[in-house]
Structure 1
């Protein structure tokens, strides 16, 4: 297959649409987490300073804020070193965080990482074309 045929093929369309579809799935899943599991996350992190300060308004500030809150909690749980150092996260809360919620946060973070890597790979392929 020549390069011009490739750029007109369906494979290219799906290759370029992949990161967009992954982003849609990641945003949808993050909104699902914010609407159905945010209460359980707040309960699991009840001794943490971040939840103490922002807990009453979590999930009540709109669509974009809900996505940012889930991202913040995922960052606190999956990469806890900075949050522990700043005092936002209680070490006991981190230790006792429910595994099913941690797994869900890993899924949404993994979707975002895969989408970004895929998009970067496509950018490099287009640049070297």
Structure 2
């Protein structure tokens, strides 16, 4: 296996730091969902425990909190069995969740997972150079 030090500089830079581009895209996606789609998300999950507890203050604490709230809601929709058991998600809300909003959450989840996998691969390549 070739060392990363022998690769062209542009390729090494893309492999070692390209994941950051997907992190930025994921944050932008979360900010968009938090500012433009939060009310639709709260309406779709109105019977869920998480929205019942945190609903009044969702979207009112700044953009960093908005990103964390959208990340939590994305995890609730992408891993429903776990969150139904925890009481954060109501199974009837999940059954009638809007398809368009679910697609946006899938895009956000895909960006998060893809950037995490790329980051792990880059770390392994740099570690064993």
In the superposition, the TM-score normalised over structure 2's length comes to 0.92
* RMSD (CA atoms): 1.4
Q: Does 1:90 align with 2:105?
A: no
CA separation in 1, counterparts of 2:9 and 2:127? 18
Q: Give a deviation string over 1:68-108, Cα, whole Å, max 9, x none.
A: 10011111111011211122211110000001111111111
CA separation in 2, counterparts of 1:90 and 1:30? 22
5+ unaligned residues in a row in structure 1: which ranges?
none
In the superposition, the TM-score normalised over structure 1's length comes to 0.92
Contact 2:44 2:97 in 1 (8 A): yes
Contact 2:83 2:89 in 1 (8 A): yes
CA separation in 2, counterparts of 1:27 and 1:11? 25
5+ unaligned residues in a row in structure 2: which ranges?
none
CA separation in 1, counterparts of 2:119 and 2:87? 35
Superposed counterparts of 1:27-106, under 5 Å: 27-106=27-106
